[in-house]
A = this chain, B = another copy of it.
Amino acid sequence: MIFALRPSERSGRPTLWIPLVRRIREPFKGMWALPGGPLTHSESLQDAASRNLQETTGLAPSYLEQLYAFGGLHRSPTQRVVSIVYWALVQPTEAALADESENVRWFRADRLGGLAFDHNAIIDYALWRLRNKMAYGSIAYHLLGEYFTLAQVREVYEAVLDRELDPANFRRQVKATPEIEETDQYLQGGKHRPPRLYRFTGRPGLDPDNRSTP
């Protein structure tokens, strides 16, 4: 499952979006579902996740991590299925390249209908984990491009945590993390003082090899 930031239709502020695919066969034919597919004998779990993502949506995420293995008995009405779910964060530029069609569409993460299988529960869990990781680790930057302003980082936090944060205090905290690097560039074009651009210099977090944050 993939998270990306897109501007909300009304406010224009960034919000969380998820691409879903329409099922073209039973069970749940015609309903929306998370992209996915089988694991072959010659690929690792992560490779399989990447490949399935690429095939269904064309996306190549910058952040990909195992979410959870779901293996309840009645997840599918026809057969026993164990799904090892991965979750990804993609940057806006990547997300814009995603193939969208009759059977692939982006939805707001907080406004989903009933999905196939137990996919609503999976998304709920992924959202919970995203919020959790956000509170501690430095994961928000994978939803942004290479250069960003501190206000953009704050908007990511506000979108995911769904509450407003004090700009001055937030800036103080972010500037205290060593992985954030100040650049000499400024973002022009706003109708106000141009903000400085920053960069994230930390490494991703590919469980369980790269263990940076809880």
Q: Tell me the nearest residue of chain B to A133, going by C-beta.
A: B214
Chain B residues closer than 8 Å to A73, beta-carbon distance: 42-44
- The 8 Å CB contact of A214, one of B39, B125, B132, is B132
Q: How many copies does the complex hold?
A: 2
Complex contact B71–A44 (CB within 8 A): yes
- The 8 Å CB contact of A71, one of B72, B84, B121, B211, is B84
- The 8 Å CB contact of A128, one of B42, B80, B135, B211, is B211
- The 8 Å CB contact of A41, one of B45, B80, B211, is B80
Chain B residues closer than 8 Å to A125, beta-carbon distance: 207-208, 211
A176, chain B: closest CB distance, angstroms: 19
A24 interface residue, CB < 8 Å from B? no
A97 interface residue, CB < 8 Å from B? no
A174 interface residue, CB < 8 Å from B? no
A130, chain B: closest CB distance, angstroms: 11
A71 with B214, Cβ < 8 A, contacts A45-B82, A125-B208 known:
no
- In chain A between 22 and 77, which residues have their CB closer than 8 angstroms to a CB of chain B? 39, 41-45, 66, 68-69, 71-73
Chain B residues closer than 8 Å to A68, beta-carbon distance: 66, 207-208
What residues make up the interface of A, taking CB atoms closer than 8 Å to B? 39, 41-45, 66, 68-69, 71-73, 80, 82, 84, 121, 125, 128, 132-133, 135-136, 207-208, 211, 214
A-B contact pairs, 24 of them (CB 8 A): A39-B71, A39-B82, A43-B73, A44-B71, A45-B69, A45-B71, A45-B72, A66-B68, A68-B207, A68-B208, A69-B69, A69-B84, A71-B84, A84-B84, A121-B208, A125-B207, A125-B211, A128-B208, A128-B211, A133-B214, A135-B214, A136-B136, A136-B214, A214-B214
